[in-house]
Structure 1
């Protein structure tokens, strides 16, 4: 997730108009509230995209439940549903404090179950715009209940000086990779701290001492350099997400500009199962591996889940509602498959309204939840 725009020397008047438009969109989005729908007692055999409004969709399957985590009204909420395509009412698990480094601009939270606790990685800043203060924070649940109390574990040091948090550097969209008994953080950040949010973004990786503490120093993993991830007003690598298949490890990430229809997905693949993920030469980049078309615009910030019977793989993603610049987006999902060489085949982004078969398998019946945003 990134809200930014480049200053063009050749067209200052156009930029001024565009900047005004962007800020209006952002402020409208920040003020928006949701009345989330209750889960249906029964569902049809088909569904169609989009499934609901929203952006930066993060969904994870835990036993028979699909946990959905998102930011809303300067806080973070989760919902738990037996159905991928039917989001239940949600409950706040954390609200931003009235002051401090994480009091505003809550972006793109992800929730992960690690060693008996739920951990939420999110981006936040003391203020914005300009969005130059974004850092990454971590929340930890009291136990294995996703609705339990959460402790704020503080800000992660995503800078180049592990001993001085005061020299921390801009970081968003953090995810985690568990590989060969070790835990790694992967995120989108800047080469150095800047005073403008019109700054290129790169992907970094760093080993973790535990789920809320980084270890060693960050490693630059990917920069926007290929023809398919550059060419617009701002070069971005962001929204990294881990995808595993057999012994292969992939990082699917977003590139180009999040507010434009050209937003798309690239991929890093580890060359050998035993390769060190902290070495950039251990990875190979390909793309675009998933992008929009004439009816689906700006696909981005994905997550991956299995169907209820674990026989199918699904990609969850957002797309723009129109071709106009801005961040008015909705959430979509569709199955994907695997090529003979073990790489993912995401196919064509499915147009709105086209009937899709529901995910394979059936979860156990459940009573309707009374959880709701308050």
Structure 2
């Protein structure tokens, strides 16, 4: 009887050990790019969750996951109305958590192509739940006349800078409203009265003027994203043509933390700071997050699937470091299929999820 009992206990122990080993082995410690299809990737870390926001089927969807490299099923938080200024062409939404609410900044137009009607709009969640209902807070006045929204001017890719207890909107727009979308794009900045209202005047922050951000059929500055490190403030933005393999990233750096963000002279332009290569084409429209344990910095970006002109793109991610002078070093865009170590702390999180 003792022999049978001993064998039984040994069998249980072996089964448990195999189960634990299988759980560990089932969690990959590496991943490869691309991580999924899509464009204009916006990922933000809120507490322990990675919130991913994107446009789809003329609406805006979000997903929330503990893992950077693996998305959960997305849910629609907003669908474009059947009529009105924002009934079509929903582009590049971003979601930001400000003062207890989620705010989604997006571009939309009444029709297109031609894409001459794009304007910036904002949604606000009713509470701090990212999947809650959202109220349409309307169109933001990105023109030169704050008192007359009928004089509004084309705007896309709005993001938000929080600096020295003030909010600033930064976006890509036209100098004036015209009737062709073959129009050069510039970066503008404006102070915000609150997360859904601009105040004062828009300020021209950056124009495509340098040799590395010009030279193609249409000069663009777009997709501005805020990156902070210690006391340094950066705006990483996309330039050249979004549909070509030459699409790349430039950088504006606030000269000193005390400088006025509304003064264009406060910003130092450098570039390109991140671009494609022989195997990665047209890197653009980035966002930035920390690894699950907070020890690593990661850049999320899209790239073209081929060298042919067009907008067929996928989403990629890779870690980056910092130079001795405090500026980011994004390194080389990593080719598809090359194994990268998963973000620090992510493997342990997935192991815990499996073993629960």
| TM-score of the superposed pair, with normalisation by structure 2 | 0.91
8 Å CA contact 1:69, 1:78 repeated in 2:
yes
Partner of 1:339: 323
Partner of 1:31: none
Larger Rg: 2
Secondary structure in 2 matching 1:281: helix
Give the distance between the partners of 2:305 and 2:298, measured in 1 at CA: 21
The alignment status of 1:165 with 2:158, answered yes or no, reads no
Once the two structures are TM-superposed, the CA of residue 108 in structure 1 deviates from its matched residue by: 0.1
Segments ≥4 residues shifted beyond 2 Å: 362-367
Partner of 1:59: 43
Please show how residues 249-260 of structure 1 align to structure 2 within 5 Å. Answer: 249-260=233-244
Partner of 2:130: 146
The alignment status of 1:323 with 2:268, answered yes or no, reads no
Give the distance between the partners of 1:187 and 1:363, measured in 2 at CA: 36
Once the two structures are TM-superposed, the CA of residue 331 in structure 1 deviates from its matched residue by: 0.2
Once the two structures are TM-superposed, the CA of residue 342 in structure 1 deviates from its matched residue by: 0.3
Of structures 1 and 2, the one with the larger relative CO (CA 8 A, separation 6+) is 1
Once the two structures are TM-superposed, the CA of residue 204 in structure 1 deviates from its matched residue by: 0.2
Partner of 2:250: 266
Which residue, out of 120, 126, 131, partners 2:110? Answer: 126
Once the two structures are TM-superposed, the CA of residue 366 in structure 1 deviates from its matched residue by: 5.0
Once the two structures are TM-superposed, the CA of residue 43 in structure 1 deviates from its matched residue by: 3.5
The alignment status of 1:108 with 2:92, answered yes or no, reads yes
8 Å CA contact 1:122, 1:173 repeated in 2:
yes
Give the distance between the partners of 2:92 and 2:321, measured in 1 at CA: 26
The alignment status of 1:155 with 2:135, answered yes or no, reads no
Deviation string 1:94-147 (CA, Å, 9 cap, x unpaired) is 000000000000000000000000000000000000000000000000100000
Partner of 1:191: 175
Number of residue pairs matched by the alignment: 327
The alignment status of 1:174 with 2:162, answered yes or no, reads no
Once the two structures are TM-superposed, the CA of residue 230 in structure 1 deviates from its matched residue by: 0.1
Give the distance between the partners of 2:61 and 2:353, measured in 1 at CA: 21
Q: CA RMSD in A?
A: 1.1
Once the two structures are TM-superposed, the CA of residue 263 in structure 1 deviates from its matched residue by: 0.1
Partner of 1:204: 188
Give the distance between the partners of 2:77 and 2:283, measured in 1 at CA: 28
